[in-house]
Amino acid sequence: MMTRHPFRRLTFTGACFLLLFIQSTWAVDSSTEDPRFQINLREYDVGQKNFNRIVHCIRDRYESEQVDFKKVFAHALYSAEQVVREVEGAGAVIVLATSEPPYSLQELEYVQHLGNLIAGRIRSASATVASVTQLWNVALTSMVGALGDPYSQYLPPQSYGDLQQFLSGEGSPENRFFGVGIRIEWDVTNNAGLFVRSPIPGTPAAISGIKTGDIIVAVDGIPLSATGTPVENLNAAVERIKGPEGTKVKLTVIRPGSGPFPLHFELTREPMRTDQLIWAEMLGEETGHLTLLSFYQRCSEDVEKNLLKLRQQGMKKLILDLRSNPGGFLDEAIKVADIFLPQGTLITYTQGRTEDTRKDFFDQRTGDENFTQIPIVILVDSHSASASEVVTGALKDQGRAQVVGVRTFGKGSVQELFPLEGDAGLRLTVAKYYTPNGRCIHNQGIEPDVAVEYEPPQIALPDEKSESRKDTGPKPVTASSLLEKQLATDNQLRAAYQLLNRNAISTK
């Protein structure tokens, strides 16, 4: 565990003293009865308390000790000044702070200028003067953003309320999808659009007839752009397909082997239901394939139910497919790992700067369902993150699974939620996740045992000028067995299946 540098401790001793001091120097005569003045005064007091609270939290709890507080305070002042100039015009009296080094002021000078800037707006009720609430919100947002950590955030009241609802299990802004239900990749073979890896059962895409191997070439009649990298093209296309719940989107699809003319589908965007985030199938007589798209609440129960059904169908080996799974609830990830590990096995642990951030997570189950010996291959990709990485790292380090695919995303940080005044909040990174062997997940990800990049099948698009091309050009795969058809269009799944059925996988 790192220790705090003496210089940093000395700096903050002075900082805390000044913060307490300026509480009195910024005070404003509250004798007036003007309602707007009283509101501004209360908002100013709330913002000041939240500023102090955030500084203390960063100093005492933030995962990294190497925080440049001059940068943090400079960003706060700079952002507030930009709002003042936008609202009040170029004539506004400001310090002209900069958000880039070298910073011309000392740490505490930035703090004092920020307080004076906002306090100067308390008496105003004019729309041509920046509001106290607006200035505090932008200043606090910017100072936390200056940490350079996308997972640490100042949360204004509405955002904090949404997050609280998510944590209660009533809603999940991170894991609730509004789309049509397809797993896709950019079609690198033809560079023409999105290759459909598979429609998700029960979703608008599956119900409407979208099929594996389809290539989406246009959204709402506008051709998809192929001017960037495959990742850029994919992300841009996904943004066009997503949208508000209940709205419609039109997809233009080329289906190899069905003629030269495109197919058109009009789909209604819907949120993903939990029963659409997991499905299971048998690949051949002995290999089960379980796909999990999110670690939603109680997903561990659904995982176990599906495993039991697969075992009844003859499963003796398992492919656990966590591709495109962005994570979810940590406790569910622990429970899923529990299914496959003996009781008392270390699954993951967290460690931050302070002693109380070390927390070990062990297997609590007895293994009654006897899945602790079944050979496993885990499929992952660059979109597998967070809880997916916890499960993958645990089973890999404990010798319970081999991993196939590409390096995972690398989101392994722990956030703590601090309530603030006025129903606001602070989400702050306080620790990082580690695999049982001590490997940090954050920004590192999990490396596969067998690296396999996903390769869309080599399928030629129909030629609009000649229908005969479908007879003379490359033909779509026509496999004789269901198993071959399942594996033909997914080289990563094929590699996992071959690994399970050709090599004996150690259970320790």
- 347-382: per-residue pLDDT in tens? 999 998 878 778 999 998 765 568 999 999 999 998
Lowest mean pLDDT among 79-83, 144-148, 224-228, 304-308: 224-228
Give me the pLDDT at residue 160, please. 60
Q: Give per-residue pLDDT as tens, 89-130.
A: 888 888 988 989 989 899 999 999 999 999 999 988 788 888
How confident is the model over 11-24, as a mean pLDDT?
A: 42
Q: What is the pLDDT of residue 408?
A: 96
Q: Among the options 70, 317, 411, 470, which is catalytic?
A: 411
Q: Do 318 and 345 contact (CB within 8 A), yes or no?
A: no
- CA 447 and chain centroid, separation: 19
Choose the weakest-confidence range: 300-309, 414-423, 476-485, 496-505. 476-485
pLDDT at 195: 87
Q: Hey, which residues does 248 pair with through a beta bridge?
A: 268
Per-residue pLDDT tens digits for 425-460: 999 999 999 999 999 999 999 999 999 998 877 655
Q: Is the pLDDT of residue 73 over 80?
A: yes
- Choose the catalytic residue: 386, 413, 470, 490: 386
How far apart, in whole angstroms, are the C-alpha atoms of residue 246 and residue 133?
34
pLDDT for the residue 176? 47
CA angle 154, 156, 159 (to 5 degrees): 95
Rounded to 10°, the helix 6-25/69-88 angle is 30
Q: State pTM to two decimals.
A: 0.72
414 band by pLDDT with thresholds 50, 70 and 90 = confident
In 3D space, the residue among 64, 151, 175, 147 whose CA is nearest the CA of residue 417 turns out to be 151
397 part of the active site: yes
> Residue 208 and residue 179: Cα distance in Å, rounded?
13
**d(Cα 445, Cα 409) in Å, to the nearest integer?**
5
Domains delineated in the chain: 13-148 (no CATH), 178-271 (2.30.42.10), 274-415+429-454+490-502 (3.90.226.10)
411 labelled catalytic: yes
**Whose CA is closest to 19, among 73, 90, 93?**
73
> What mean pLDDT do residues 176-183 have?
74
Which region among 126-140, 315-329, 478-492 has the lowest average model confidence (pLDDT)? 478-492
Report whether pLDDT(173) > 90.
Answer: no
Rounded to whole angstroms, the Cα distance separating 409 from 345 reads 25
Q: Which of 214, 397, 432, 490 is catalytic?
A: 397
What mean pLDDT is predicted for residues 138-162? 87
Residues above pLDDT 90, as percent of the chain = 51
Instruction: Determine the pLDDT at residue 24.
Output: 40
The 10s digit of each residue's pLDDT in 28-41 is 555 556 778 888 99
User: In 3-state terms, what secondary structure has residue 333?
Assistant: helix
Report pLDDT for 169. Answer: 43
Q: Is the pLDDT of residue 488 over 70?
A: yes
d(CA 477, CA 256): 10
Q: Which residue has the higher pLDDT, 467 or 316?
A: 316
Please tell me the least confidently modeled range out of 73-87, 89-103, 334-348, 421-435. Answer: 89-103
344 has pLDDT over 50: yes
CA distance 137 to 154: 8
Tell me, what's the pLDDT at 297?
Answer: 83
- pLDDT at residue number 508: 41
Q: Who's near 118: CB < 8 A, 6+ residues apart? A: 44, 47, 80, 132, 135, 136, 139
Is the model's pLDDT at 249 over the cut of 50? Answer: yes
Q: Which two tokens stand for residue 27?
A: 């005070």
Q: What is the predicted pLDDT for the residue at 14? A: 41
Confidence check: pLDDT of 10 > 60? no
Would the pLDDT of 394 be above 60? yes
